[in-house]
Amino acid sequence: MKVAILGYGTVASAVVKTLIDNQELIKARCDEEIIPVIALARTPKENALIPVVNDIELILNRNDIDVFVELMGGIEFPFEIISKILKRKKAVVTANKALLAYHRYELEKLAKNSAFGYEASVAGGIPIIKILKEGLSANNILCIKGILNGTSNYILSKMVEDGANFKEVLQKAQDLGYAEADPTFDIEGFDAAHKLLILANIAYGLRVKPEEILIEGISKVKQEDICFAKDFDYVIKHLGIARSKNEKVELRVHPAMISKDKMLAKVDGVMNAVSVDGDILGESLYYGAGAGGKATASAVVADLIDIARKEKNTAMFGYLNDTSYSLLVKDEIYTKYYLRLKVLDKIGVLSIITNLMSQLQISIDTFLQKPKKENDCSILFFITHETYEKNIQILIKELKKQNFIQDEIFMMRIED
């Protein structure tokens, strides 16, 4: 399957690199080589991994291209180009939410006979389009609430963490590259609104444009609001909300206070998350990186793999070829361990235990002995540094032989 990449920024580079780095994996998953053959860029790209041209006609005129990946941005120009491609019944993949917010109905009509992937247009690498369209297809969607813009969520999270004002945090976000030089599109809610319209389209089939819905950004949120929210057990998040009642759907994008113990309230920094309430499933939530080259590439390449799979048998477990993975034997598990021991409180006990550990190359990270409550017994708590399961099992076996050990030895692994 030959792929052309239109546009060559961060996402496009990551798409090309993923197709090359993970080509064996991709082949095993869809029984097809997906090859990026040419890219469009306004200016020449050094270090580009595939040939780059600046004349789009050179790409559109090639008959060997199976899928066109649109990563140019903008609205009217990509719409014009994609329309042409779809009319020739070729497949398209795009990450362009603004394009979809304004032209998705025309595109849907044109795409009747072509594959059209747009997973990357909402919430970056979280496969929320597929989840809503397929995974939750049995449900009437009662409500969608999404943290859909990483820049806004980063700023609000930092205002809580640092006690700083909106402007200070925005400046910091710009310095770190989390906010654009002109951040209006993100912080005033337009980006989130475009994404919400796409989700609402899948949930409700709604034909609505951004101008018709309520859109507010975070620029008026002050530190006083953050503090008030904290005092009353709320957290302020910028949400895109779609909620249905009696076939009316409300769509709105704005900062909102949510109870601090909701899962959505715990989504911090540049991360995105979408909570979906379905009449059959109830609430579910999907969390991950909503932006960035690699995260977006993850969704674009998944769309390409879906298109490649379309004509084939899909393997029941997603692999059509054998893989080279094998099971690691238990002894070789390597992690941190927690140990709880009940021991007789007599001289030399700790020395014996630590000596055993030392012989097995087990190093202690945390140790706690609480003042004893029961006759002559103490409880010892250890956390080790990383070690092999085999060593811990030998340690436990050796400890069990000691006459100062009371009760069972309890071991638990640590997963940070």
| DSSP 8-state class, residue 279 | T
Catalytic, 195? Answer yes
The residue among 169 and 215 lying less far from its own copies, judged by its C-beta, is 215
Q: How far is the CB of 382 from its own copies (least distance, A)?
A: 10
- The CA distance from 126 to 315, in Å, is 22
Contact 388, 308 (CB under 8 A): no
Catalytic residue among 195, 262, 312, 336: 195
CA distances to 94, 208, 344, 393 from 271, in Å: 21, 27, 49, 39
Calculate ∠ Cα 315-316-317, nearest 5°.
90
Classified as helix, coil or strand, 187 is helix
Q: Which residues lie closer than 8 Å to 258 by C-beta, 6 or more apart?
A: 234, 235, 237, 239, 264, 265
Q: For residue 297, what is the enclosing H or E element? A: helix 293-310
Nearer to its own copies, 186 or 389 (CB): 389
Identity of the residue numbered 171: Q
At its nearest, how many Å lie between its own copies and the CB of residue 358? 23
Nearer Cβ to its own copies, position 62 or 312?
Answer: 312
By beta-carbon proximity to its own copies, the closer residue of 56 and 208 is 208
Is 97 labelled as part of a ligand binding site? yes
Cα dist from 169 to 216, 230, 253, 265, 269, whole Å: 19, 18, 21, 19, 12
Nearest-approach distance from CB 181 to its own copies, in angstroms: 25
Smallest gap from residue 398 Cβ to its own copies (A): 19
Report whether 180 belongs to an annotated binding site. yes
Residue stretches of the annotated binding site for L-homoserine: 180
Residues annotated as catalytic are 195
Residue stretches of the annotated binding site for NADPH: 97
